[in-house]
Amino acid sequence: MDELVHRTVPSPNWDERKLPVSMVVLHYTEMADADTALARLTDPEAKVSAHYLISEAGEVIALVDEDKRAWHAGQSFWRGHPDINSASIGIELDHPGHALGYREFAQAQLDALVPLLARIVERHDIPRANVVGHSDVAPARKIDPGELFPWDRLAEYKLCLPRPVKLEAGDPFDNDAAFYLALERFGYDVTGGHKAVEAFQRRWRPERIDGQVDGQVRAILFQLLLDRDQGRAR
Ligand SMILES: [Zn+2]
């Protein structure tokens, strides 16, 4: 067992993968505390799980073996694939979420997440562009881990794509239909319409989440696509 894991509490909620691991999905638990979340993630009646739960104090609890399919993403989609549970490692962060009082993520929790995520990404050779939030793969249903999640910090360690700084491509799209096509090309399920735009904003422009396709949002998406296609980010 990995030395980054403090304890293992096996969850019965898993089945066999149908795809190799190529993604990581980050969540918040939206529960009062880690014990409550742990009870739910290991309850056979609940039919939910994740590979790891990280408490606010930084305890890493392994629930499902990485080679098994945990049940965390639900109905979801990324870069053409609908079975995200089969393709991903799921990490739940103990946190009250938007429902119980949205707040900054705890430092100790992030200090535990960074090395765990680094190990996972290395072990499975996961592209940075495939380290995502639950809201990225289920934009019509989910908003976790939300706009206070410090993606910038993970990006410093090259564990996810950084937010584009220089928007050298400017604003290349002049209508929403073109934007949605590009958003789908990047990976999102766009059938939820403006919900997909909100999910994109939550991840890439959290200062304003309004579902509106404005010039800055268009420029950010175009820069992300450009960087990926030029091999600067995979
Ligand atoms: Zn989630």
Query: Mean pLDDT over residues 4-9, rounded?
Result: 97
CA nearest neighbour of 104 among 155, 153, 139:
153
CA 122 / ligand 1 centre spacing (Å): 23
Q: Which residue has the tokens 């707040």?
A: 103
Q: Which residues are catalytic, by number?
A: 92
173 CA distance to ligand 1 middle (Å): 31
Percent of the chain residues topping a pLDDT of 90: 84
Q: How many angstroms separate the alpha carbon of residue 27 from the centre of ligand 1?
A: 4
State the pLDDT at residue 226. 86
CA of 200 to the centre of ligand 1 (A): 16
Q: What is the pTM of this model?
A: 0.86
Write down the pLDDT at residue 4.
94
> Cα of 50 to ligand 1 centre, how many Å?
9
Residues 112-137: tens digit of each pLDDT:
999 999 999 999 999 999 999 999 99
The CA distances from residue 108 to 69, 93, 132, 213, 231, in Å, are: 27, 11, 21, 36, 34
pLDDT category of residue 165 using cuts at 50, 70 and 90: confident
> How high is the mean pLDDT of the chain?
93
Give the residue-averaged pLDDT of 204-212: 96
Q: Give the model's pLDDT for residue 232.
A: 66
Q: Is 118 exposed, middle or buried (0-12, 13-18, 19+ CB in 10 A)?
A: middle
pLDDT at residue 154 tops 80: yes
Which pLDDT value is given to residue 109?
98
Rounded distance between C-alpha atoms, residue 34 and residue 47, angstroms: 18
Residue 172 confidence class, pLDDT cut points 50, 70, 90? low
Compute the Cα dihedral for 146, 150, 52, 68 and give only its sign: positive
Tens digit of each residue's pLDDT (9 = 90 or more) over 19-59:
999 999 999 999 999 999 999 999 999 999 999 999 999 99
Q: Which of 65, 91, 81 is nearest to 13 (CA)?
A: 65
Closest CA to 93 of 151, 46, 141: 151
Tell me how far the alpha carbon of residue 213 lies from the centroid of ligand 1, in angstroms: 25
What is the predicted pLDDT for the residue at 177?
A: 84
Q: How far is the CA of 192 from the centre of ligand 1 (A)?
A: 17
Beta bridge partners of 8: 62
Residue 1 has pLDDT above 60, yes or no: no
What is residue 107's three-state secondary structure? helix
**Residue 221: pLDDT band by 50, 70, 90 thresholds?**
very high
